[in-house]
Amino acid sequence: MGVVYDWKNDIDKLELNNICSFLKNGEIIVFPTETVYGIGGDAFNDNACRKIFMAKGRPSDNPLIVHVSDRKMLEKCVKNISELESKLIDAFMPGPFTLILPKNESVPGVVTANLNTVAIRMPKNMIATKIISSFGKPIAAPSANKSGKPSGTNILDIKDELKENVAAFIDGGNTEIGIESTVVRVVDNVPVILRPGAVTKEDIFNLVGKVKVDEHVLNEVKKEEVVLSPGMKHKHYSPRTQCILLDVSNEEKIEISSLIKNKNIAVIGLDIDAKIFEKVNFYSVGKDLKEFSKNIFSKLRELDVLNYNFILIESVGLDGIGLAIMNRLIRTCGYNVVNKKEQIIEYLEN
């Protein structure tokens, strides 16, 4: 099992040297960012990057995100940055924002699924930044979890499932945002959101006056389609317990609450709906969408060991970070959406 370093209060210099040694030797580590925990290795080392895919059980056609500490390091990975792309970088990096850019020859094909573009992010987390800058090279890092499972937002959620595969875990406490970064690619001089996150479509529009949302953000990607962004194609964010997205009116929520009373079914939602579901197994993820984002993956992991028949997750609006939450929930639920109470009856009968 990899060694665990507790950096919740401060970064230990000796342990930081050890982390850099692990990375230089082609090992992989688990570390916090402001979004979720990452499992990463030297982005310029083919073998280290292959270890990431093996540790996660990640399909090779699912590209990795390359994390950098500053603009200078970013420019060592890419070429031909446009004026609009530069404006996006200046506005949203460092932060929960990933930009798809033309890659140069320094980035191995294994990182990019052999595409001629690379996903670049500059995290805003102090621990992540310190590791990358001390190592002196970019770190390729997807979310720290087995592929398909909910992303890790604290060390306890992910340590056991990855313990045989990494050299070290760095415990930085609970992550701030709780869902992965926004991924954008500029197409025909328009920013296109491939994966929504905490940098919202409204944020981008307010900066440049134009933005599009890729059709696959809320719709399934066909098996044969090539994807440009992590998180678009394969099953993601799912516990073992079947999850169903509940997208109904308040009146129907009341009726559904009666239908599932005394049933081995859990409901996840915001505080505001606790009264509607007070007689069922209701679990709040907070008072607003920011708390929903921060807590949803950890809550899914918590409920997954309680052996519910299935989990109902309440839908949210698509404004602001709501779009990112719904993107994750739709994939968590495998595109199973309940729009009327009669569908719940079908699930209860099966």
Domain around 338: 243-349
Neighbours of 186 (CB within 10 A): 19
Q: How many CB atoms lie within 10 A of CB 24?
A: 14
Q: How confident is the model at residue 235 (pLDDT cuts 50, 70, 90)?
A: low
Phi then psi for residue 5, to 5 deg, are: -110, 130
List the CATH number of the domain containing 305: 3.40.50.11030
* Nearest CA among 4, 29, 195 for reference residue 97: 195
Q: What percent of the chain has pLDDT over 70?
A: 96
Cα separation of 302 and 316, whole Å? 21
pLDDT score, position 251: 93
Instruction: Work out the pLDDT band at 199, boundaries 50, 70, 90.
Output: very high
Please identify, among 177, 206, 233, the residue that sits at the C-terminal boundary of a domain: 177
Q: How much is the mean pLDDT over the chain?
A: 94
Predicted pLDDT of residue 233: 54
Lowest mean pLDDT among 194-208, 211-225, 243-257: 211-225
Report, as an integer, the average pLDDT of 288-292: 98
From 128, 151, 177, give the residue that closes a domain: 177
The count of structural domains within the chain is 2
User: Among 161, 301, 155, 322, which Cα is nearest to 238's?
Assistant: 301
Say whether both 75 and 172 belong to one domain: yes
Confidence (pLDDT) at 228 = 59
Can you give the pLDDT at residue 320? 97
CATH of residue 118's domain is 3.90.870.10
Residue 313 in tokens: 């997750």
Q: Is the pLDDT of residue 223 over 80?
A: no
Supply the pLDDT for residue 151: 93
Last residue of a domain, one of 177, 194, 213: 177
Residue 270 scores a pLDDT above 80? yes
Partners of 119 in beta bridges? 65, 100
- Tens of pLDDT, residue by residue over 128-145, are 999 999 999 999 999 999
Counting Cα atoms < 13 Å in the Cβ hemisphere of 124 gives 18
Instruction: Tell me the three state secondary structure of residue 82.
Output: coil
| Cis omega (within 30 of 0) for bond into 96 | no
Question: Does 13 share its domain with 143?
Answer: yes
pLDDT above 90 for 345? no
Reported pTM = 0.94
